[in-house]
Structure 1
Amino acid sequence: MNQTYHVYILASARNGTLYTGVTGDLAQRMWQHRNGKGAKFASKYGVHRLVHAEAFTNVNDAIAREKAIKKWRRAWKLELIERGNPQWLDLYDRLNG
């Protein structure tokens, strides 16, 4: 079985504070963020709504994408989210469903 890696964006609310990360286990990482065991930044600013995720089979591709997105202007990140999730729904509920 091939490992899947995800680049993800969390938001505190629509157009709120954003956090971009990469993980090899998206469901586990989201649990960590929601239970104060994720990034300190995400915990401090209440950033735990999963609004965007991209899957990769190569960890290096995932890391490169995360680094690229982190350098983007905020407007580009908002556009990326809106393109795939115009309602800013919390995609966490779809992970195990």
Structure 2
Amino acid sequence: MDFYLGCPGRREWWRVAHTPDGQVAGLALPSATPYARNVGYLGVVPEFRGHGYVDDLLTEITLIHAESGAELITATTDTGNAPMAAAFARVGYRTSEIRMLYSAPVA
């Protein structure tokens, strides 16, 4: 949370998602950098995964940014996170680049 508190995004953009019976289902933190608006953080509580909350949260983040005038919204996920990559595709995000991180063994 400290990282996102230090970003230039607005705290009033942040959302907690609830199930119809009031349980916390997830968290959405629209954020920003000096260069673009971004998805920031999006998480669904494990027991509620597979119920479409990820699409709802991602759509909400996108709408918050679009309604406040963002012309570009970026997002990232780990290469192996196929469910999140699929959610981005369902909501209309497109892959523009892939970043590979390598590390050398410590001597």
TM-score (norm 1): 0.26
TM-score (norm 2): 0.25
More helix by share: 1
